[in-house]
Every structure is written in C-alpha cells, then in structure tokens.
Structure 1
Amino acid sequence: MSQQTSQQAFVPLGDETRARLARCGAATLANALLKRGLRNAFLLGLHAVAPGQPTLIGPAWTLRFIPAREDKDSMALYERNDSLHRRAIEECPPGAVLVMSTGGDLSASCMGDMMALRLKVRGAAGVVTDGGYRDTPGIIATGLPCFQRAPSGPATPIALHPVEFNVPIGCAGVAIYPNDVIVGDGEGVVAIPRLLVDEIAAECGNISDYEAFVSMHIRRGRSIFGLFPATPESTQEYQRWVAAGRPALN
C-alpha cells in the first residue's frame, strides 16, 4: 500500500471570498469560468445527499481510489492507523472539502456516517465524490453538506483501494487540484482554480446582486427587455438602486 504523505500546504479561504461565493449559484460560477476559457469545471451527474442542505464551499482536499485487489483490501485495513482512507479523514483540514475520486465506481461506498460525523466535528466544509456513500440517513443527520453520484451500500474494501491523498485527481471528469475551491448547491458542484477564485467570486457576487434587482422588477410585471441581460441603461438604474440602499419597490 502506498504511504503517500501530504505535501501541498492547505490554504484557507478568506471570509470575504467565501461570503461572495455563498451568494453565487454553481451555474453562474461555471459561466464565469467559461468566459475565461475553462469549459470543464462542472462536476456532472452529482447530487446532494439531502434537498436543501447548506451550500458547500471550501478548498479541495483530495483522495484517490483505484480498484481493490483481494490480497491488499479487507476490513482489517480499516483497523490500521496507516490506512490512507482513515488518514485522509483525520488530516482533512478545517474548512476543507474532501473530494474523493472513485472513477465513478458505485460498487462500493467511499464513506459512511461515522466518517462523515468525524469530518463534521473536525470542521470540514463537506464532501464530494463521483462514487457513493453508505449510511446516507446517518450522513444527512450530521448536517455535513455532501454530494455523490448515487448511494452505495457495500463496504469500501470490496471495490476501492485508497492510494494517495492531497494530490491532483479527476472527479466526475473534472481535474481537481489541492486548494481548488469547490462550490456545491442545488444545481450541482463546480471547481474553481485557486488563482481565479477571488476575481470569480467578485464578478459573480455582482451578477447575483444584479439578478436580485432583476427578480424584484420581474415579480412586479416588468419585461425582461432592456433589463435582462443587463444593458447600459439598466446597469445605471441598478447602480442608483444600490446607492439608494436597495429599497423595496412600492
């Protein structure tokens, strides 16, 4: 079994950037990345374990699995402190999103409720996998935001062998590097390269604020023409509204 030691220093996410990302939808963030030429940032096919769970936001802490082999994988592995799976849970930093790559394998779970609870207690921001979890009701009860491809009940060693963590991985067809910022909401999960996250958060935060302005007018019966997408005139109107303290329509 590989004894991968984490090399990449974890970089926490700033409060202002986190707050801006919390106002942005995953689809909006993906569009902003597309404008910069990044076409493959949305982790397709993943679903929240619970409707209405909190938005998942945090830097990636990665774990990669390969297919299991009978001479190396058994439940006895999980009694050992050098299990890379257990180490990834115990070393995942507070505020991080654990991203686990299974190659889309659903024949065994990559996490259960006790691991999820441990991550929650340690302050992790959430978990993402292109595989599946077991004990889903227990995971939901922890309150930890989690995304998966589909639930999977069989124990991990049946099909999955952990080989390294805190390294670049592929998850749901998307390249994830340690410290990339993961955002997951009701639409899905997007990965933002760390060097771009501050400017993406600022841009998309402004878009979300403008859309709140648009939504207020549409609810009152206003046409989308000249309003959405934004025009120079509607942008000036929006800026006057912000300067006035964002008053509600009478």
Structure 2
Amino acid sequence: MPTKVHRPTTFPLPRELVEQWAQVPASIAADVLEGLTLVDPAIRPLRPLPPGGRLVGSIVTALCEGTDYGAVHHAIAVAGPGDVILIEAGGRPNPAVIGELLSGAARRKGIAGVVVNGAVRDTGRLARWQDFVVFTRHITPRGPSSMDRGTVNDVIAFAGTRVAPHDLVIGDDDGLVVIPRAAAEARLGAALARVAAEEAWERELASGRTTLDVFQVPPAG
C-alpha cells in the first residue's frame, strides 16, 4: 500500500502563540497539563541543548511500518519552516529511519527538528548542527529497506501519547511534552504565570530565604 498523506482538518497555530510557548520549559508544560501528554522520557536529545534552548514547533506526524521509511520522505515534503516531524517507528532499535541526508533536506527547508520513536544514524554530523534538533530513542548504523508505505499527518499514538497534526511539541533536556492544539491557547496563560512564579522563587531563594519559607511548607511534626 503506498504512503498515505492526509490533509489536516485544522490550521497551524499562529506563529505568535508558538513563540510564546517557546518561553516555557518542558517541565512547566508537563505540570500545567498534569503530566497527561508526556512523551516517553526514554526519547532523548541527541546532544545537550544550549542553556535555555528547546525544540518548539507545530507537529507533522509520520508513521513508519517495519523497515520502511517512505513516510519520512513525504513528511519532509509537506512540513514547513518551524515545524517538527514526529516519526513513530514503533520504538524499534533498527533500522534508522532518518540520518544525515534526509535531516539535511529538512534542515534546508527550515524544519526545526525531528523526534523519533525509533532509531537514527549519522549522529556525528547531526549532533553538530545547532539549528536542527534531533530527539531519538535509539542509534544504529543500519538503514531502512523500503520507502513505499506509511502514513503522514494522521492522528497517531506517539510513544504512548496521542498526537495530531498541528499539535505543539516542546522538548528540552528534561524531555518532551505535547500541547494539544485545542489546549495551546487555553493553557498558555497558566504556563507563563508559572514561568514568572519560578523566576520570583529563584530571586527569593538567592536572597537567603529558605525553601520552607518560600514554598510555605507545613511545619514538621
């Protein structure tokens, strides 16, 4: 069956909204959404991100079957600048479904990065790119065997989390959180308020106050 590319029924989130979410660490996003949209923490960034750095973007989904990576090619073709491609490859340790050539093509389009529930290769090169972020579960030298199956831009279960096209993903050194498109605007205020609160707590602790005082911890018995 040839690769199926779906046309999403929703529109991408406004760029201004995405940029505001870019101020929010994954830890705060996870707390605001009560941990319900966490991606399996075994999927890690290929290299540590710079201080304050994170991967944030509108999601394009790619579902790969077996050793096929056709969906990755088609996802790169339909993704736009700032998007993030989430590749569901069943958590398989091989084959790699993306490496230097496909990642380079995505990078040249301005795609922000890829997240792979599976394996990648050519990591020596990928890890040196500062403008293209890769999260993955596995690394392997073995490549795929075919490129004529799979699904793009469908609603999928990605590493245990429901993901739809145009949902938002936030990733940093702590891990990955999906922000459902329908919740992105509604939960932004709470997320930004928590960012401001944590900055205030840090200032109070730096001034010499104890965590007992700052967080109003109940007295010990």
- What whole-Å deviation, never above 9, does each CA across 1:211-243 have from its counterpart, x for those lacking one? 11110111221122342269xxxxxxxxxxxxx
* Amino acid in the other structure paired with 2:46: V
- What whole-Å deviation, never above 9, does each CA across 1:76-117 have from its counterpart, x for those lacking one? xx8xxxx44322222212221100001100121010012111
Please state which structure has a larger fraction of its residues in strand.
Answer: 2
Q: Is the 8 A contact 1:43 1:190 kept in 2?
A: no
Q: Is the 8 A contact 2:118 2:138 kept in 1?
A: yes
Of 144, 164, 168, the match for 1:177: 164
**Larger Cα Rg: Structure 1 or Structure 2?**
1
- Structure 1 unaligned segments of length 5 or more: list them: 231-250
* Amino acid in the other structure paired with 2:133: P
Whole-Å separation in 2 of the counterparts to 1:84 and 1:224: 49
- Aligned positions of 1:109-148 closer than 5 A: 109-143=96-130, 144-148=132-136
Q: Which piece of structure 1 moves more, 96-105 or 162-171? A: 162-171
- Aligned positions of 1:39-188 closer than 5 A: 39-53=36-50, 54-68=53-67, 83-143=70-130, 144-157=132-145, 162-188=149-175
Q: Which piece of structure 1 moves more, 221-230 or 110-119? A: 221-230
> 1:137 Cα deviation (Å)?
1.5
> 1:15 Cα deviation (Å)?
3.7
TM-score if structure 2 supplies the norm length? Answer: 0.87
Q: Does 1:6 align with 2:3?
A: no
Task: Tell me the SS of whatever aligns to 1:130.
Answer: strand
Quote the residue 1:245 is aligned against. Answer: none
Q: Is the 8 A contact 1:120 1:142 kept in 2?
A: no
> 1:161 Cα deviation (Å)?
6.9
Q: Is the 8 A contact 1:182 1:189 kept in 2?
A: yes
Number of matched residues?
214
- Structure 2 unaligned segments of length 5 or more: list them: none
Q: Give aligned-pair identity as a percent.
A: 23
Whole-Å separation in 2 of the counterparts to 1:212 and 1:17: 21
Query: Aligned-pair RMSD on alpha carbons?
Result: 2.3
The list of structure 1 runs, each at least 4 consecutive aligned residues, that deviate by more than 4 angstroms after superposition, is none
> 1:12 Cα deviation (Å)?
3.3
TM-score if structure 1 supplies the norm length? Answer: 0.78
- What whole-Å deviation, never above 9, does each CA across 1:157-185 have from its counterpart, x for those lacking one? 28x87411110112211111111110001
Whole-Å separation in 2 of the counterparts to 1:162 and 1:100: 13
Task: Tell me the SS of whatever aligns to 1:149.
Answer: strand
Q: Is the 8 A contact 1:47 1:150 kept in 2?
A: no
Q: Is the 8 A contact 1:64 1:162 kept in 2?
A: no
Quote the residue 1:236 is aligned against. Answer: none
Q: Is the 8 A contact 2:39 2:158 kept in 1?
A: no
Whole-Å separation in 1 of the counterparts to 2:107 and 2:56: 14
